Amino acid sequence: MILYRALLRLYPASFREEYGREMQANFARRWRLAPHPIGRMMLLIVALVDVLGNAPAAHMDIVRQDLATAWQTIRRARVLSATVVAVTAVGIGATTAAFAVADHVLIRPLPYHEPHRLVKIWQGDLNGGRSEASPANYRDWRDHARSFERIAAYQPLSRNLIGAGTPVRLEGAAVTGELFATLGVTPLLGRTITSEDDRESSPLTVVISERLWRTRFAADATVIGRSVTLDDTAHVVIGVMPARFEFPTRLVDVWIPQVLRSDQYVYGNPFLNTVARLKPGVSREQADAEVRAISQAVALANPQVNKRQFGVALSLRDEVAPQARALLWILVTAAASLLLIACTNLANLLLTRGLARQKEFAVRAALGAGRHRLVRQLFTEHALLAACGGIAGAGIALAGIPALVRLVPTSLPTSETPAVDVRLLTFAMAITILTAIAFGVIPAWRISRQSDARALHDGVRAGTGRRTARLRSSLVIAQVSLSVLLLVGCGLLLKAMLKVQSIDPGFRAHRVLTLRTTLPLKKYENVSLRHQFFGRVIDGVQALPGVTSVAYVSGLPMVQRGGIWVINVAGFEQLPGEERLASLRFVTPRFFETLGIPLRSGRDVADSDTQASLPIAVVSESFVRQYWPGQNALGRQFKIRGIDWTIVGIVGDIRFRGLERRSEAQVYMAENQMPDRGLSGYWPRELVIKSDRSLEALLPAIRAIIASADPQQPISNVQTLSMVLSDETAPRRVQVRVLGVFAAIAFLLAGIGLHGLLAYSVSQRSREIGVRMALGAERRTILAMVMRSGMQLALAGVLVGSALACAAGRWLQALLAGVSPTDFASFGGAVALALFMTAVGSLLPALKAVRVNPLQVIRAE
């Protein structure tokens, strides 16, 4: 019997309440009629089959019935239902999108074989900085470390592809033979680069990306074995990588073997990125300790090298900048806050509505519907709304992910956009269910508790129970505090953005067009050839209508952030190398004029500065301040690579490393004075044009001029300098915009929540208000009474929210560009907005309270 009673628990509670006792009685009777153990066993089996078949069906009967009822209720209250669905959709959409991006960047494993065993090895220093590894250190780790199954190195490069359509500039990587095997990837076609390919004697080979194969070789499988020209050198295509292989960045289209000549194995020139696969069972920490020990052993044996340098092994998964990490957590927190606000708001809304429907429920309770049944009915109704919101939210998330992705610059060797897959949809579904529970179950339970026969009588005002009132007030306080949190965060980021935008880069980007022509190495080895090319391009472009000035430079500010050299100035040799750094740029005449960099004294570089004349340099003001403060620096000399350079001009400083970073002093040299061989990384390649015409208007003519100077020369990176500058603050603008949207929605929801609560409480208290007024209370007093209750809630919310924001400020710090996390203006602004919202939200209900007609209310009683 106990067994049968337990089985009956599988039925819905309402069904059990209705028929359970009778079913038990029937079962008991048959039990008595079947005294034989086998008969009884049969009886139990039949009962089990019966219950297992019918209990789910009984649940489905109720669900079907409740859904039909819910659908009707929803259709009757269209505006309210649409509001609930929209609010849920926004909350779920934002949270899902934020989760998708965070999951993609921070959690999900990289698309390689056993990615947890992949580490990147850096050359670290005592200050916590890290750089690429020098070939000698790479060799030492490769030959001596026992932690790794394989170890490989690569460096980024770019090459002009000629002979497959119009010439094009490709991003690529030079990789040692072990790289593909270390990552554990297989090609789509052909084979990958192996240790047969990275020797000096090996024939030149190239592996291409699926994208390049598709766009330039028409996805032709016979591309394997074909010869392509990269920077004037023929390479044989040996393989095509699949589309999902994006290493080291998603822009890479070609991989060529990294040949390391024996004379390249030195300690001083760090340029290799190193990845390694840990042996099974070896931890990252063990590997880290081992590479550190190896570098330090070298330093002990040879005091000249690896001074304050050592190997550092980090998980490949952790190649995410701390800013991006902080940003993602902020994003997730903001989205979760939004969802919470949405849920609390809806819980309150549905609670209000449920209480207004009290009479309906009381009637049903009187007709015999049990409490379980009412809770279930209400929950079905709320769950249906949540499900609609969830579906719409998933749509919002899909639309929002690309925008959020732009927010998070990542250096991860994986695709930019998170995949929409089961994992993501499961997440969306899970939070939809949580949402349904949060705003569905609690109000349903609360409402059903109050639905007793008392509510049938008109005089009983439902929902004024102290506990319900307290719950509703707490929900509003939670909303206000979360919206204050988001407002403060948004204010801080806005202030940081304005601060960064107001930084003077030192040059004028307005109306400056730029494009890149990277000259191939062998063809343009001689300065005279390059000078001839630059001269033809500059003269041609200069002659175009609307063009004010034109020049070539080796690297654009904000684009080329490196190019740093140690400078030797007589009298300063004792300073450590790190304190004698300057950025080196080679320019043609009129570069400063084109970029609006002020010439403080002396002269610009000139066409007359040639290999045959005195080596000259133009330096920035900070360079002069560093070595000859308060003195005339013109005519002074310094040494680079053993050559004496004479200062002929002094110009203003620019922030070439970026708006938010300190930049080294700058040294500019005449392009025409470069040595014939070497320094290929410093060849001018960026054409800068000051013009009052648009880029589009000038581009065809410029292309024609470049093609006439060298028909095989590709053009890349066409953009305006303003775009470059605006890219500097783009992530901040997106941050502010996204958090701003979140904060605005939160703010609005909190306002609606507050208004709803007060309006409801005024309508519930209309009798009390009427009586007060009849007893002589002034309208002003009533107005103040309602406004005061609104303000009390808001103040509580502001206090909690400010405390939360103070705590969260520490997270934000990495993104604040020096703005204090407790910035007064941001907090003040958020508090003022919250109070303003309270005033607006409470004003309408307060006015409604004032308009209560005492006579009518009392007569209605």
Q: 637 to each of 583, 620, 632, 649, how far by Cα in Å?
A: 16, 14, 12, 12
Q: Is 763 in the site for other proteins (CB under 8 A)?
A: no
87: Cβ–Cβ under 8 A, 6 or more apart, which residues?
Answer: 342, 345, 346, 389, 749
Q: Is 50 in the site for other proteins (CB under 8 A)?
A: yes
168: its two tokens: 């094009």
- The distance of closest approach from Cβ of residue 51 to other proteins in the complex, given in angstroms and rounded to an integer, is 6
- The distance of closest approach from Cβ of residue 1 to other proteins in the complex, given in angstroms and rounded to an integer, is 14
By rule CB under 8 A, what string of x and - marks binding of each residue 322-361 to other proteins? --------------------------------------x-
* CA atoms within 13 Å, Cβ hemisphere of 515: 19
- The distance of closest approach from Cβ of residue 462 to other proteins in the complex, given in angstroms and rounded to an integer, is 18
What is the C-alpha separation between 625 and 602, in angstroms, rounded?
A: 16
Helices and strands of the chain, counted as H and E runs: 23, 22
- The strand pairing partners of 687, in sequence order, are 515, 552
What is the C-alpha separation between 581 and 566, in angstroms, rounded?
A: 5
Listed ranges 54-62, 600-608, 672-680, 770-778: which one lies at the site for other proteins (CB under 8 A): 54-62
Closer CB to other proteins, 15 or 682, in the complex: 15
H-state helical runs in 110-172: 135-144
Listed ranges 17-25, 179-187, 208-216, 666-674: which one lies at the site for other proteins (CB under 8 A): 17-25
Listed ranges 42-50, 235-243, 739-747, 816-824: which one lies at the site for other proteins (CB under 8 A): 42-50
Interface with other proteins (CB under 8 A), residue from 130, 279, 364, 639: 364
Listed ranges 62-70, 490-498, 692-700, 716-724: which one lies at the site for other proteins (CB under 8 A): 62-70
- Whether 657 contacts 603, CB under 8 Å: no
Q: For the chain, what's the residue count? A: 861
- The distance of closest approach from Cβ of residue 278 to other proteins in the complex, given in angstroms and rounded to an integer, is 59
Phi and psi for 209 in degrees, rounded to 5?
-80, 160
Q: Is 22 in the site for other proteins (CB under 8 A)?
A: yes
- The distance of closest approach from Cβ of residue 445 to other proteins in the complex, given in angstroms and rounded to an integer, is 20
Interface with other proteins (CB under 8 A), residue from 1, 25, 126, 300: 25
Q: Is 415 in the site for other proteins (CB under 8 A)?
A: no
- The distance of closest approach from Cβ of residue 10 to other proteins in the complex, given in angstroms and rounded to an integer, is 10
Closer CB to other proteins, 72 or 853, in the complex: 72
- Whether 495 contacts 819, CB under 8 Å: yes
User: Among positive and negative, which fits the CA dihedral 778, 779, 781, 785?
Assistant: positive
Closer CB to other proteins, 76 or 859, in the complex: 76
- C-alpha angle 546/550/551, rounded to 5°? 170
Q: Is 19 in the site for other proteins (CB under 8 A)?
A: yes
- The distance of closest approach from Cβ of residue 12 to other proteins in the complex, given in angstroms and rounded to an integer, is 10
**Rg, C-alpha atoms of the chain:** 36
Interface with other proteins (CB under 8 A), residue from 17, 18, 319, 660: 18
Helix (H, G, I), strand (E, B) or coil at 121: strand
Interface with other proteins (CB under 8 A), residue from 17, 34, 40, 54: 54
- C-alpha angle 372/375/380, rounded to 5°? 120
803: its two tokens: 């405390």
User: DSSP letters along 364-387, please?
Assistant: HHHTT--HHHHHHHHHHHHHHHHH
- The distance of closest approach from Cβ of residue 44 to other proteins in the complex, given in angstroms and rounded to an integer, is 13
What is the C-alpha separation between 791 and 794, in angstroms, rounded?
A: 5
- Whether 56 contacts 12, CB under 8 Å: no
* CA atoms within 13 Å, Cβ hemisphere of 153: 24
Interface with other proteins (CB under 8 A), residue from 3, 41, 45, 68: 68
Q: Is 512 in the site for other proteins (CB under 8 A)?
A: no
Q: Is 21 in the site for other proteins (CB under 8 A)?
A: yes
Q: Is 23 in the site for other proteins (CB under 8 A)?
A: yes
- The distance of closest approach from Cβ of residue 460 to other proteins in the complex, given in angstroms and rounded to an integer, is 21
Interface with other proteins (CB under 8 A), residue from 9, 29, 625, 810: 29
Closer CB to other proteins, 58 or 695, in the complex: 58
Q: Is 613 in the site for other proteins (CB under 8 A)?
A: no
Closer CB to other proteins, 62 or 494, in the complex: 62
Interface with other proteins (CB under 8 A), residue from 27, 247, 267, 827: 27
Interface with other proteins (CB under 8 A), residue from 3, 6, 45, 72: 72
- Whether 504 contacts 546, CB under 8 Å: no
* CA atoms within 13 Å, Cβ hemisphere of 197: 24
- Whether 566 contacts 580, CB under 8 Å: yes
Interacting residues toward other proteins by CB under 8 A? 11, 15, 18-19, 21-27, 29, 46-47, 49-51, 53-55, 57-58, 61, 65, 68-69, 72, 360, 364
